[in-house]
Amino acid sequence: MSPLLSDYPRYAWHLLMGTRAAMEAEQVECRVRDLAPWLDLSQPRDILDIGNGSLRPQYALLRNGGHRVTGIDFVNRPGTGWKRSAYGAMRRLYALQLGLPSAAMDPQGLIGGNVGVMPFAAGRFDLAISNAAFEHFLDVPAVLADLQRVLRPGGMIWAGVHLFTSPSGGHNVSFTQYPLRSLPAGAEPWDHLRRRRRPFSVPLNKWRKDQFLAAFAEQFEVLSHYCALREGEQWLTPALEAELSDYTRDELTCATLVIIARKRG
Ligand SMILES: C[S@@+](CC[C@H](N)C(=O)[O-])C[C@H]1O[C@@H](n2cnc3c(N)ncnc32)[C@H](O)[C@@H]1O
């Protein structure tokens, strides 16, 4: 059984218990607070969720908050099969957990497509948000260039990036523990930066914090950034820190980097 397949029972448990929903709701609050100096989210806004995902939590929460929300993701393309049906059931459960009417999950604002070539008019959005998706985009400069086009002048970006350099950044340990608190038997911390014994199962650009910050700064004014979630400090022994000396302690233990940026003009 692949390590990620073995996570599914725990995944269902997290959904049932509402652990994940609580994190999503927290993210809404953080974003409102982070953007408050530049964008008042108590007013209805045109918002783009890039890489909205199959469960589409932030898309649904923002719609329920009165915003006009569009999502773009490969997974929005029409399809059938057991996985689609399973996600449909999980979304209904998730809506309950998030305290949302199931209509908030309706797909009418969702576009199936590549975030590097978006089918939207120039200057259409006040805000682009993204959660745990930028690390999967294989052409980040193309995504940022297209975001530059579809945002209005002064439009904002709020992006949460799951950093590759964090213990869970290889996406090869567990996607249900966030932050990561335990390692599977036999797994070594930061295996993906060391011997790479455990395979990656999803596309990853393997970008580091400074690469993201530099790429954002090329296209936008980076107003602020911070580490929203730390993990793995307990595994970073002096010996391991020496072995991983190409990386800073900050990037080895930051699971989520939040970047807040603005389109100039
Ligand atoms: C880990 S999921 C995050 C989903 C969601 N934001 C969430 O927080 O639950 C990353 C998503 O990015 C999407 N994705 C990756 N590269 C993409 C691309 N070039 N164009 C469109 N979607 C992409 C994947 O299909 C996937 O749904």
Whether residue 171 has pLDDT greater than 80: yes
Rounded to an integer, the average pLDDT of 121-143 is 98
pLDDT, tens digit, for every residue of 45-95?
999 999 999 999 999 999 999 999 999 999 999 999 998 998 999 899 889
Q: Specify the pLDDT at position 8.
A: 65
In the predicted model, what is the mean pLDDT of the chain?
92
Q: Specify the pLDDT at position 146.
A: 98
Tell me if 134 CB under 6 Å of ligand 1.
Answer: no
**How far is Cα 164 from Cα 252, in angstroms, rounded to an integer?**
9
Q: Specify the pLDDT at position 6.
A: 58
Whether residue 2 has pLDDT greater than 50: no
Q: Are 258 and 35 in contact (CB under 8 A)?
A: no
Whether residue 155 has pLDDT greater than 80: yes
**How far is Cα 218 from Cα 141, in angstroms, rounded to an integer?**
9
**How far is Cα 189 from Cα 237, in angstroms, rounded to an integer?**
10
Tell me if 136 CB under 6 Å of ligand 1.
Answer: yes
Tell me if 51 CB under 6 Å of ligand 1.
Answer: yes
**At the fourth CATH level, which superfamily is domain 5-39+46-262?**
Vaccinia Virus protein VP39 (3.40.50.150)
pLDDT, tens digit, for every residue of 25-44?
999 999 999 999 999 999 99
* Cα 74 to middle of ligand 1, angstroms: 7
Mutate to test the pocket of ligand 1, among 19, 55, 69, 73 (most ligand atoms within 8 A of CB): 73
**Which of 259, 258, 263, 162 has its CA nearest to residue 207?**
162
Burial (CB < 10 A; 0-12, 13-18, 19+), residue 18, is middle
Per cent of the chain over pLDDT 90 is 79
- Structural domain spans, the chain: 5-39+46-262
